[in-house]
Amino acid sequence: MKTVEINVTVNRRKYKKTVPVNQTLLRFLRETLFLNSVKEGCNEGECGACTVIVNGHPVNSCLVLAAEMDGKEVLTTEGLIDNEWLHPLQEALVEAGGVQCGYCTPGMLMSAIALLNLYPHPTRAQIRKEMEGNICRCTGYTRIEDGIMLAVEKLDAIREKAKECGEPTPWFPGINDNFNEEWNSGYVVE
Ligand code: FES
Ligand code: FES
C-alpha cells in the first residue's frame, strides 16, 4: 500500500504520521489517534455522525482522506474539553435534553461549533439550515436547537462576567470570535 507522510494538528496537538493514501480521515482519527468520539454512520456523507472541524469548517470525515490533512488543523469533540471542564455547548446540549442515545452528538457538537463561529447569535432558522446535514434519530431536533440557543446564553454570560470583573475575554475550545473577519480577509483556509 502506498503511504504518505502528513503533519497535522489535531485538538491542538501536532502529529507527524505516515498514512495509507486511501485512508479516510474518519479511520485515521479513530484507528490511529483513537479519537472515538468521531462516529461512523452511513460512511457516505449523508448522516453527519462523523463531522469534525477542519480549519474552522465542518467536514464529513468519512469523505476526505487523511492524506489531505497535511498542514491542517482538525478539531474533534475530544478537543472541546479544556482542563477536564465540559464546553458550555456540551453542558447546554445536556441541560436542554438534546442528548439521548448520543450517537449523533459528537457530529452535532462539531456542526454547532462551526455554526456559532459563523453566527455567534443564530436564529432558529439559521440553526436548522446549518445543522441540516446532521441526522438525529432520537431527539426530534427541537431540543438540539434549544441546546444551541442555551449555549449562546451561557457563552454570553461567561463573557459578560469576565468583562465585569476586568478579566480577559475567556477562551472556549473551537470558538473563534474573529472567524468572519478572518474568513473575509482570506486568512481562514477552506
Ligand atoms: S458517516 Fe460520514 S456522513 Fe455518515
Ligand atoms: S441522540 Fe440518538 S441519534 Fe441523536
Does residue 182 surpass a pLDDT of 80? no
For residue 104, what are the domain limits? 88-180
Domain containing 162 — which CATH number?
1.10.150.120
Q: What's the pLDDT at 64?
A: 98
Q: Are residues 53 and 104 in the same domain?
A: no
Identify the H or E element spanning 7.
strand 3-10
pLDDT per residue as tens digits for the range 133-158 = 999 999 999 999 999 999 999 999 99
Q: What's the pLDDT at 179?
A: 79
Whether the full predicted model's pTM is greater than 0.85, yes or no, is: yes
Task: Give per-residue burial for 135-152: e unless 16+ CB within 10 Å, then b.
Answer: bbeebebebbbbbbbbbb
- Measure the CA–CA gap between 161 and 43, rounded to whole angstroms: 43
Domain containing 28 — which CATH number?
3.10.20.30
Identify the H or E element spanning 126.
helix 124-130
Nearest CA to ligand 1 atom 3: 45
Does residue 187 surpass a pLDDT of 90? no
From ligand 1's centre to the CA of 59, what distance in Å? 10
Q: Is residue 9 assigned to a domain? A: yes
Looking from the CA of residue 42, the nearest atom of ligand 1 is 4
DSSP 85: B
Q: Are residues 32 and 104 in the same domain?
A: no
Q: What's the pLDDT at 93?
A: 97
From ligand 1's centre to the CA of 90, what distance in Å? 21
Looking from the CA of residue 62, the nearest atom of ligand 1 is 2
Indicate the top mutation candidate among 30, 59, 60, 111 to test ligand 1's pocket, ranked by most ligand atoms within 8 A of CB: 60
| Residue matched to cell numbers 454570553 | 156
- Measure the CA–CA gap between 50 and 42, rounded to whole angstroms: 9
Nearest CA to ligand 2 atom 4: 136
Ligand 2 and 137: CB distance under 6 A: yes
Q: Are residues 100 and 167 in the same domain?
A: yes
Looking from the CA of residue 101, the nearest atom of ligand 2 is 2
Ligand 1 pocket, Cβ-based, cut-off 6 angstroms: 40-43, 45-50, 60, 62
If one counts the domains in the chain, the total is 2
Does residue 186 surpass a pLDDT of 70? no
Mean local confidence (pLDDT), 83-92: 92
Q: Are residues 66 and 103 in the same domain?
A: no
Q: Are residues 107 and 146 in the same domain?
A: yes
In this structure, which ligand is nearest to the CA of 26? Answer: 1
Q: Are residues 29 and 72 in the same domain?
A: yes
pLDDT per residue as tens digits for the range 102-129 = 999 999 999 999 999 999 999 999 999 9
DSSP 43: S
158, 88 contact by CB (below 8 A)? yes
Q: Is residue 98 assigned to a domain? A: yes
Q: Are residues 121 and 148 in the same domain?
A: yes
From ligand 2's centre to the CA of 106, what distance in Å? 10
Q: Is residue 187 assigned to a domain? A: no
Confidence of residue 82 (pLDDT cuts 50, 70, 90): confident
147, 95 contact by CB (below 8 A)? yes
Does residue 188 surpass a pLDDT of 60? no
Q: What's the pLDDT at 140?
A: 92
